[in-house]
């Protein structure tokens, strides 16, 4: 069954009982080793598939585990419990009789907004509040402890009030958010001996993938599932991960869980899978050179038996536009001269807003691409709304403006219901007029909605009259100021490092500044709706580094390697270095890294990570640890 595993994989897979951590470098066959281990547990060690629990952190990863277990165990694979940790907790709580509904997504945003409204909180965004509450829960900090921790900090004390009111309101309505699933399961297992014994008895072997992504509550919850010593049956707790790829501290993940594993579990075994099957020696040398600058790490050498390849290519450009054109030129050469396909290639970046220059260069050079798990730049909500404002201002009596108006009536919120929108459409249809004209003449019965619509028209009318002489960048700036647009957009945001909405708006303004009239800019922006170029699954993949984790491509371009972006000015330097490590370790055959000398119109400093990966920078462990 597992004859094809290398000796180190074989040793890790055959671990029989006790506690073990498998530290796996990128491309070292970690998931395969885990699946083969499950096969060995069943066929060699006689453990029933139902007594095996395999956990990971995303639905995609859980689905991949299921599909990869089928060749190993055949029909028996469906009897093994494989799921995300959240799904496992949801199932456990339901089985144990807890009555609740899940609060998530838009409903959660609206719910916490109402809590904040009840407390008359106006100076904090929903995104900020949710992020702080989530981090607290992931660290098992309740509202009382939160207040004690942040005593004297007015902002955090205000958040503590919201946290307490939010929890009380959820409890009253029998609701749990995703963080509560973990917390409630942890409390149940910790405080109820009978339930804890039941689940310890249910799972003779527990396996956890991507262990470096666990947060404190997940770690403590998992500890409670491990069978206590003295149990007659042989049992095991086996985790796999890589501290070099711990890049989710913004969700509360703690790299310390994997770094300190052996001290937290004295007597546990550690296996290191250090043979990389993915990349050339040159790419691995860059990865090794880079990561050796981190102090907090499990030291390991990245090895490979793969043949030599090309050296890492560094592309220097004068600004973001020429950087994108440099990428285009290299891709044209790769396709036309070196026999690569577009689908072999990925362009990775630290933040979503960086895609604009690449998308523009690809479109003008007819290079097909798609945004992995995301939207093209001009289709992002915060960008699209501003473009829709411009559409109405440019040509209010057009079908395009009718559609655009319906999109922006509640941007920001003007309490225009779907019923009112339907009435407006019917009103205009009977009179043969377009929606903006109808909006100004139709009688709106609700006083506060009528007032808000009048304010909207008073803002739009002068701009419509002067539309031919207005520069699009001026109009966007007015919308941002008059309607407090940025606040509205951020307030709707769900915390994420991938979705820097204000930066996207700034990028739109930079693009608009190149055009002297609204019509020309809209024509340009509309060219991105050409789906044959911009949403081609066989095209070049564009994505953030966080989205790329777990993927691999023959050719990888990592762009924007400047100080303040990669590394980000806000993040912990060692985590930023790990993010860069994840980016460059996606490459199999060719790696290109690029940086502009000017960024956002200002002189930029080349990222220190470039010299580090090229071996041109001495290791300063004291500074790195700071």
Query: What are the catalytic residues?
Result: 30-31, 209-210, 245, 586
- What's the gap between Cα 179 and its chain centre? 17
**DSSP E strand stretches across 220-305:** 236-241, 269-273
Length of the chain: 626
CA–CA distances in Å: residue 126 to residues 137, 168, 505: 16, 17, 19
Compute the distance between CA of residue 579 and CA of residue 546 in angstroms, rounded to an integer.
8
Vertex 313 angle, CA 307 and 318, to 5°: 170
CA distance 565 to 31: 31
Return the number of other C-beta atoms located less than 10 Å from residue 280's C-beta. 22
- Count Cβ neighbours within 10 Å for each residue of 129-138 and write b for 16 or more, e otherwise: bbbbbbbbbb
How open is the CA angle 232-233-236, to the nearest 5 degrees?
125
DSSP conformation class of 535: T
Angle between helix axes 355-364 and 320-336 (nearest 10 degrees) is 50
Q: How many CB atoms lie within 10 A of CB 410?
A: 15
Count Cβ neighbours within 10 Å for each residue of 234-258 and write b for 16 or more, e otherwise.
Answer: ebbbbbbbbbbbbbbbbbbbbbbbb
Q: What are phi and psi of 52, to 5 degrees?
A: -115, 130
- How many other CB atoms sit within 10 Å of the CB of residue 372? 15
Q: Using CB atoms within 10 Å of the CB of residue 74, give its burial: 0 to 12 exposed, 13 to 18 middle, 19+ buried.
A: exposed
C-alpha to C-alpha distance for 194 and 200, rounded to whole angstroms = 10
Q: What is the CA radius of gyration of the chain?
A: 27
Separation of alpha carbons 365 and 443, rounded Å: 50
């Amino acid at each position: 069954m597992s004859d094809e595993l290398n000796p180190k994989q074989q040793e890790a897979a055959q671990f029989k009982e006790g506690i073990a951590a498998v530290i796996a470098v990128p491309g070292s066959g970690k998931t395969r080793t885990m699946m083969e281990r499950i096969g060995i547990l069943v066929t060699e060690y006689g453990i029933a598939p139902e007594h095996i629990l395999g956990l990971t952190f995303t639905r995609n990863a859980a689905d991949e585990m299921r599909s990869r277990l089928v060749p190993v165990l055949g029909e028996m694979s469906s009897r093994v419990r494989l799921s995300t940790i959240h799904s496992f907790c949801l199932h456990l709580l339901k089985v144990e009789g807890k009555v609740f509904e899940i609060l998530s997504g838009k409903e959660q945003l609206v719910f916490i907004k109402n809590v904040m409204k009840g407390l008359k909180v106006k100076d904090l965004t929903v995104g900020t509040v949710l992020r702080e509450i989530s981090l607290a829960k992931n660290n098992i900090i309740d509202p009382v402890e939160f207040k004690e921790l942040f005593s004297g900090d007015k902002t955090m004390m205000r958040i503590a009030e919201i946290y307490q009111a939010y929890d009380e309101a959820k409890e009253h309505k029998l609701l749990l958010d995703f963080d509560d699933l973990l917390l409630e399961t942890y409390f149940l297992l910790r405080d109820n001996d009978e339930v804890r014994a039941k689940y310890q008895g249910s799972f003779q072997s527990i396996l956890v993938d991507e262990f470096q992504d666990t947060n404190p509550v997940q770690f403590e919850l998992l500890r409670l599932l491990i069978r206590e010593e003295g149990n007659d049956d042989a049992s095991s707790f086996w985790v796999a991960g890589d501290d070099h790829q711990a890049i989710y501290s913004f969700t509360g993940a703690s790299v310390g869980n994997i770094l300190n594993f052996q001290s937290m579990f004295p007597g546990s075994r550690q296996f290191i899978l250090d043979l990389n099957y993915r990349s050339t020696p040159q790419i691995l040398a860059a990865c090794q050179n880079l990561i050796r600058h981190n102090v907090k790490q499990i030291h390991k050498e990245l090895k490979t038996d793969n043949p030599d390849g090309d050296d890492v290519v560094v592309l220097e450009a004068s600004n973001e536009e020429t950087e994108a054109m440099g990428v285009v030129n290299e891709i044209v050469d790769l396709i036309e001269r070196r026999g690569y396909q577009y689908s072999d290639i990925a362009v990775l970046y630290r933040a979503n807003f960086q895609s604009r220059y690449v998308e523009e260069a690809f479109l003008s050079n007819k290079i097909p691409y798609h945004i992995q798990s995301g939207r093209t730049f001009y289709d992002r909500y915060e960008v699209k709304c501003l473009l829709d404002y411009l559409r109405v201002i440019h040509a209010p009596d057009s079908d395009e403006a009718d559609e655009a108006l319906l999109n922006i009536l509640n941007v920001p919120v003007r309490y225009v219901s779907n019923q009112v929108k339907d009435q407006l459409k019917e009103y205009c249809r009977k009179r043969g007029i377009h929606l903006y004209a109808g909006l100004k003449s139709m009688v709106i019965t609700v006083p506060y909605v009528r007032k808000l619509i009048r304010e909207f028209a008073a803002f739009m009318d002068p701009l419509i009259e002067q539309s031919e002489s207005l520069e699009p960048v001026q109009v966007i700036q007015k919308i941002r100021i008059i309607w407090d647009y940025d606040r509205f957009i951020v307030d709707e945001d769900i915390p994420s490092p991938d979705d820097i909405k204000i930066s996207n708006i700034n990028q739109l303004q930079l693009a608009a500044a190149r055009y002297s009239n609204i019509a020309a800019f809209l024509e340009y922006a509309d060219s991105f709706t050409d789906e044959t170029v911009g949403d081609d699954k066989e095209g070049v993949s564009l994505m953030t580094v966080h989205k790329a984790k777990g993927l691999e491509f023959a050719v990888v371009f990592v762009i924007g390697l400047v100080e303040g972006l990669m590394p980000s000015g806000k993040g912990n330097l060692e985590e930023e270095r790990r993010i860069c490590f994840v980016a460059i370790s996606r490459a199999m055959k060719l790696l290109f890294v690029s940086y502009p000398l000017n960024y956002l119109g200002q002189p930029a400093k080349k990222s220190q990570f470039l010299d580090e990966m090229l071996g041109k920078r001495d290791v300063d462990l004291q500074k790195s640890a700071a």
